[in-house]
Amino acid sequence: MNQAAADKGRLDFLRSPWVNTLGRFMALALVFLFFALMVEDGKFVSLRNMENIARQSAVYATAALGMTLVIIAAGIELSVGSIIALSVIIVAWVLNLSAVGKDGVTVYLIQQHPVMLPIVALAAGVFIAVVSGMCNGALIVGLRLAPFIVTLGTMGIFRGLAKGIAHEKDIYPPQDTWLTGIMDPTLTNPAKQWMLLPVGIWMLIVAAIAAALLLRYTRFGRHVYAVGSNEETARLCGVPVGRTKILVYTLAGLFAGLAGLMQFSFISGIGQPMTGVSYELFVIAAVVIGGGSLMGGEGSILGSIIGALIITILYMGGQQMGWPKWVQEMVIGGIIIAAVALDQLRHPRK
């Protein structure tokens, strides 16, 4: 029986959250090492490239924070790319506001309020994303529809709205503002080196810590896991299931809105209504590679961020290796399946 206990102990050790996270870090290191060795002249490990990886992955990672909550609660959020686009468009639209003066000359508000207007734009962009997320939650809870269906629908609705506001054209705000620069490189730009990291990445770090604490150390966090693991049990135990779900989707909207701000800066401050198409797939993939289970009840913030990094590195590394796009797509697809298959091996079903 001692042998049995030892065996069981070893298995439990393999399933502990530390090994879990360590394994993902190792996968990340492996993928990184692969490209570091394979890309010529060590270009991959250059400061500029590392910074680019961080900037590119920040958008996915920020949106993945919200997706992690949703997936732990056994839901899915397909409209995340559309919400990112909607908030990008709203930011650009606000920055592009103009008024006709008494003398009949059109004046851009941004010229009159170079500091205030970006703040209004930021607030408006995040606000529309929060409202969008809340709509998702309210429809799912109120109409008792499957999250897949609701967010499949709102994916179209939000995208359409973004296009409508932009009149199906890109919006070019008249001048760059500080909001346009939140994702600008810092380490390779002496003027901004003191910041160490771009503002957007600092935002991601703060948001990630907040989300992790929220999940692990609050009643709401415990409720999210309970709803995802077994909704009936949660209801029996007096968990406000509907309220929890609405809050989860609202927060997913909030994080998508923050990702939208980053995306706006990343695409050089242009309001493109077609930005963020198919991001939902990258974001869901990041969460799943990070250990999230689509059956609910499992997932972690750190894991999802690692997932976002892995996907970005594969994407950028592939580009630098000169792989054609079709190869990149196949590799990323294969990695998603392999990651989840590995997870199940470690975590056998009863």
x/- site string to other proteins, residues 261 to 300, per CB under 8 A? ------------------------------------xx--
Q: Buried (b) or exposed (e) across 112-128, using 16+ Cβ within 10 A?
A: eeeeebbeebbebbbeb
Among 35, 225, 279, 315, binds other proteins (CB under 8 A): 225
What is the spatial distance between Cα 42 and Cα 40, in angstroms, rounded to a whole number?
A: 6
Q: Is residue 230 involved in binding other proteins (CB under 8 A)? A: yes
Instruction: Return the residue of 188, 229, 320, 328 that touches other proteins, per CB under 8 A.
Output: 229
Interface residue with other proteins, options 34, 108, 138, 235 (CB under 8 A): 235
Least separation in angstroms between residue 237's CB and other proteins is 4
In the Cβ-directed half-sphere of 10, how many Cα atoms lie within 13 Å? 5
Four-CA torsion 221, 224, 229, 233, nearest 10 degrees:
100
The nearer residue to other proteins, 170 or 231, going by C-beta atoms, is: 231
Q: Does 239 bind other proteins (CB under 8 A)?
A: yes
Q: Residue 163 or residue 235: which is nearer to other proteins going by CB?
A: 235
Q: Does 341 interact with other proteins (rule: CB under 8 A)?
A: no
Counting residues that bind other proteins (by CB under 8 A) gives 30
Q: Within 73-198, where are the H helices?
A: 80-95, 109-112, 116-142, 147-165
User: Is residue 336 within the footprint of other proteins (CB under 8 A)?
Assistant: no
Token digits for 190? 């002496």
Stretch that binds other proteins, among 5-13, 83-91, 124-132, 136-144 (CB under 8 A): 5-13
- Asked if 101 is part of the footprint of other proteins (rule: CB under 8 A), the reply reads no
Binding to other proteins by residue 237, rule CB under 8 A? yes
343 binds other proteins (CB under 8 A): no
Residue with token string 């771009």: 198
C-alpha closest to that of 92 among 176, 158, 155, 202: 176
Most distant CA pair in the chain: distance in Å? 92
Give 182's contacts (C-beta < 8 A, 6+ positions apart). 198, 199, 200, 203, 261, 262, 265
Task: For residue 106, give both structure tokens.
Answer: 């059109």
Q: In the window 297-316, what residues touch other proteins (CB under 8 A)? A: 297-298
Q: Is 4 in the site for other proteins (CB under 8 A)?
A: yes
Residues contributing to the site for other proteins (CB under 8 A)? 1, 3-4, 6-8, 12, 216-222, 225-226, 229-230, 232-240, 297-298, 350
